[in-house]
Amino acid sequence: MRIDIITIFPEMFDGPFSHSMIKRAQSKSLVEIHLHNLRDYSDNKHRKVDDYPFGGGAGMVMMIQPIASCIDKLKAERNYDEIIFMTPDGALFDQPMANKLSMVENMILLCGHYKGIDERLREHYFTSEISIGNYVLTGGELAAAVVSDAVIRLLPGVLSDETSALSDSFQDNLLSPPVYTRPSEFNGWEVPEVLLSGNEKEIKKWQFDKALERTKMRRPELLNG
């Protein structure tokens, strides 16, 4: 998989992409992440990427030209399955969307800023628009990092135990059951006895019951899906 991220703050991705599984996924060539500084694509001598909104109002609008130039250049180099605009008014990101995106070969993520981007870009360039939640971030960068992380960890070979993505919370619309590790007693707090019993069938049943109970208590709406 190849992910191209268009941003005015490429340095914001240094942290999220240079540790742990995402770092490993890149060194194993399971994913290539390419960051593009939008200002490099501006025709303006001051590398301007935003301008005042027609009709007035607060805030700046991201201009068509730099974004169009960057996306056009990338599209001339290869085919993109998805060209996604990261925006708080996009579709809410969830596990099924991550699963679907994990199957594409090439995708572009555009990180929005200011009061938004020129609407004509939204009409002509994007295959989808994604939000990561009902709150407003300063820009699309953290959201693009979240989407990339959720997608990359699903790529075959990224997780050491390939089945562990399958047992994630949300993959079967159930939250995960509680987990424990050594010691079996701490401060008088005991680990549920069934987990120490070695009875595989009883353990599986306990885990399923707990997952169901936890989902009913915390996220009942997942069970109506």
What is the contact surface with ligand 6GU in residues (CB under 6 A)? 86-88, 112, 131-133, 135-137, 139-140, 143
Q: How far is the CB of 221 from ligand 6GU (least distance, A)?
A: 19
Q: How far is the CB of 127 from ligand 6GU (least distance, A)?
A: 15
In terms of Cα–Cα distance, which of 46, 102, 36 is closest to 73?
A: 36
Tell me whether residue 43 or residue 94 sits nearer to ligand 6GU (CB atom): 94
CB neighbour class for 70 (10 Å; exposed up to 12, middle 13-18, buried from 19): buried
Q: How far is the CB of 115 from ligand 6GU (least distance, A)?
A: 11
Q: How far is the CB of 162 from ligand 6GU (least distance, A)?
A: 29
In terms of Cα–Cα distance, which of 7, 6, 19 is closest to 149?
A: 19
Tell me whether residue 117 or residue 158 sits nearer to ligand 6GU (CB atom): 117
H-run or E-run covering 7:
strand 2-7
Q: Whole-angstrom distance between the N-terminal and C-terminal Cα of the chain?
A: 30
Helix axes 20-27, 141-152, angle to 10 degrees: 70
Q: How far is the CB of 186 from ligand 6GU (least distance, A)?
A: 38
The 3-class secondary structure across 27-96, one letter per residue, is HCCCCEEEEEEHHHHCCCCCCCCEECCCCCCCCCEECHHHHHHHHHHHHHHCCCCEEEEEEEEEEECCHH
In terms of Cα–Cα distance, which of 159, 198, 216, 199 is closest to 28?
A: 159
Tell me whether residue 151 or residue 174 sits nearer to ligand 6GU (CB atom): 151
Q: How far is the CB of 183 from ligand 6GU (least distance, A)?
A: 41
Tell me whether residue 137 or residue 212 sits nearer to ligand 6GU (CB atom): 137
Tell me whether residue 139 or residue 178 sits nearer to ligand 6GU (CB atom): 139
